[in-house]
Amino acid sequence: MLLGKKRKLGRRVEDIKIGENLKLTEKIEDKDLLLYLGLTNDSNPLYIQHDFASQTAFEKPVVPNIMLTGILTSAISKYIPGPGSYITSQQLNFLKPVYHYATVDFTLEVIEVDIVHNSVIVQVEGIDEQGVIVVQGQITANPPRTIE
């Protein structure tokens, strides 16, 4: 049973062009970290405990990489290609840790459109406040198809 209004599907593969891009900025707040930790039951003290993290090479708590992945996959689901899209693969490299309260600028750009296989490849990158790339890679998604 579906409650509320029907959501509009994202764009079809035929409507997506190479070079389309999206830029978004995310500030990592305590509430985001606590929601993640509560939802996943991930109790790694490196993510939240300052005294523990101070004993590591990181020196202070880091943001779980899966949270950064979630920001990127959410952008795929919301914007490129949008609602109804399905991610089939992702290759991401986390080049530098992201710390609490960081602001990360994310860029997503369509680099390949395959109409025959109904897929798009989106190049992704995240840059921190110091201008350093913290995450980069590619996400492949199937845009939504309508039922004829």
Given the structure tokens 């029907």, which residue do they identify? 6
Residue 138 phi/psi, 5° resolution? -140, 145
143, two tokens: 């845009």
pLDDT tens-digit profile of 64-107? 999 999 999 999 999 999 999 999 999 999 999 999 999 999 99
The whole-angstrom separation of Cα 54 and Cα 74 is 31
In this prediction, residue 148 carries a pLDDT of 62
pLDDT tens-digit profile of 76-86? 999 999 999 99
pTM for the model stands at: 0.89
For the purposes of burial, counting CB atoms within 10 Å of the CB of 8, is it exposed (0-12), middle (13-18) or buried (19 or more)?
Answer: exposed
In this prediction, residue 91 carries a pLDDT of 98
The whole-angstrom separation of Cα 39 and Cα 47 is 14
- pLDDT (average), residues 108-112: 98
- Quickly list H helices, 4-64: 30-40, 50-53
Going from the N-terminus, what domains does the chain have, and what CATH number goes with each?
19-28+63-142 (3.10.129.10)
